[in-house]
Structure 1
C-alpha cells in the first residue's frame, strides 16, 4: 500500500458517539465514547489492519483528547489504549478521572 497523499483527519461524529480518523477520505479507525454528565468515557479504540503501523491510533486519541479539553469535559479511560496514551502524555493528566466500578456499571447499561 502506498503512503497517503494527504494528512490524516480526525472528526467527532456525535450521532455515533465516536471520533474517526480518515486517510484519503477512508475511515481508518475510531475511538468510541459515551458521555456521562461532564465525563467522556472512552471504551474502545481500533485501527483497520490496512492502516496499521502508521501511528494513527496515537494521532486519533491525541486529537480526541484535545477535543475533550476544548469541550470542557473530563476523560475516563476504560479503553486500554486510551489509558496507555494518558500515561505517556501527561499534558492530559489534569482531565483524567479514574475508572470506577460505578462507571463500569453505568457503561454496561448504555446502548451500543
Structure 2
C-alpha cells in the first residue's frame, strides 16, 4: 500500500491494509519487517461507506519515531480515496482530526462523530 515513507530515524516504513474479517487494520512495518503497529477498524454493516477506527497501537520499542502519525495519516488518506466516512472512536484518530480535520475535509475527506450505535457495534465486534 503506502511506500516511500520514512520515520523520524530515516528508516523506511510501509503501511498496509489488512482485511481480516469483522476487525481489520492498517499496519505499519519498519524495514519490511513484521508489523510494529496497527490501527484497527470496523466497516459499518449498516452503511457501506463508513469506517469506524477504534484502536491504534505502536509497539513500545518503536515509540517516538512518528509511526502512529504515519499510520493515522495513511489510513485517513486511503479512506478518503475510497470515499469512506471516517468515524474516530480511537483517541489517536479523534485527536488528529481535531487538529487537522479542516485540512482533511478540504482534501475531500469526510468524518463524523461517533454515536452510541457505533460504540455498541465496536463492543459487539470486539467481544466476538
Q: Tell which deviates more after alignment, 5-14 or 43-52.
A: 5-14
Tell me how far apart the structure 2 counterparts of residues 34 and 7 of structure 1 sit (CA, whole Å). 28
Q: Is the 8 A contact 1:5 1:24 kept in 2?
A: no
Aligned residue for 2:12, secondary structure, equals: coil
Aligned to 2:39: 31
Aligned to 2:125: 110
Return 5+ residue gaps in structure 2 as ranges.
1-7
Q: Is the 8 A contact 1:11 1:19 kept in 2?
A: yes
Residue deviations 1:25-49, cap 9 Å, x none? 2212010000002110000000001
**Structure 2 counterpart of 1:101, from 92, 110, 116:** 116
Return 5+ residue gaps in structure 1 as ranges.
none
Q: Is the 8 A contact 1:17 1:32 kept in 2?
A: yes
The reply on whether 1:13 has 2:18 as its aligned counterpart is: yes
Aligned length: 110
The reply on whether 1:92 has 2:104 as its aligned counterpart is: yes
What TM-score do you get using the length of structure 2 for normalisation? 0.78
Tell me how far apart the structure 1 counterparts of residues 53 and 9 of structure 2 sit (CA, whole Å). 27
